[in-house]
Amino acid sequence: MAGHTEASILIDAPFQLVWDMTNDVDNWTNLFTEYAEAKVIEREGNTVKFRLALHPDENGKVWSWVSQRTFDVEKREVHAKRVETGPFEYMHIYWKYTEEDGKVRMTWKQDFHMKPAAPLDDDGMTNRINTNTPIQMNVIKERVEAAARTSAASR
């Protein structure tokens, strides 16, 4: 058994702005509300390795891990995986950007499997991701659309 989630959101902003803001890992603490730290460790070509840390949970624990993202702007997609897997056996994330009537649909697909000793099983993590993803996607949508409005107003 493994976990799988898929979610998307339509962002009213130009593709290049959506792409640039959502792939600027150095700025993820300003784009997502869940990250307390986003630190790039290494860049090589179209691949970036970075550490993410969440804000402390209800028990004061800070969850942290290293991930790797490979960008393909021509295909308008990103493939990511956890390098330090933490409670996951594996975690693979696929981001796809599709233009729709001058807007951009950003889709995230996540495939994962939890370790036996993890605090949640695959179903529990699926539920957690399915609860949190719409929150984060809406925050991203608001912040990217605000940047698009600011950019349009300054022209």
1 has a pLDDT exceeding 80: no
Higher-pLDDT residue of 14 and 1 is 14
What domains does the chain contain, in order, with CATH numbers? 3-153 (3.30.530.20)
Question: Average model confidence (pLDDT) for the chain?
Answer: 95
Residue 34 DSSP SS3 = coil
Task: Provide the pLDDT for residue 126.
Answer: 97
What residues contact residue 127 under an 8 Å CB cut-off, 6+ apart? none
Share of the chain above pLDDT 90, in %: 90
Query: Which tens digit of pLDDT belongs to each residue from 113-126?
Result: 999 999 899 999 99
Task: Count CA within 13 A, CB hemisphere, residue 128.
Answer: 11
Q: Residue 125 has which token pair? A: 């993590």
CB 49 within 8 Å of CB 70? no
Q: Which token pair is 112?
A: 């994962």
Do 31 and 22 contact (CB within 8 A), yes or no?
Answer: yes
* Angle at which helices 122-153 and 15-22 cross, to 10°: 130
pLDDT band at 154 (very low <50, low <70, confident <90, very high): confident
pLDDT band for 153, please (50, 70, 90 cuts).
Answer: confident
pLDDT at 152 over 90: no
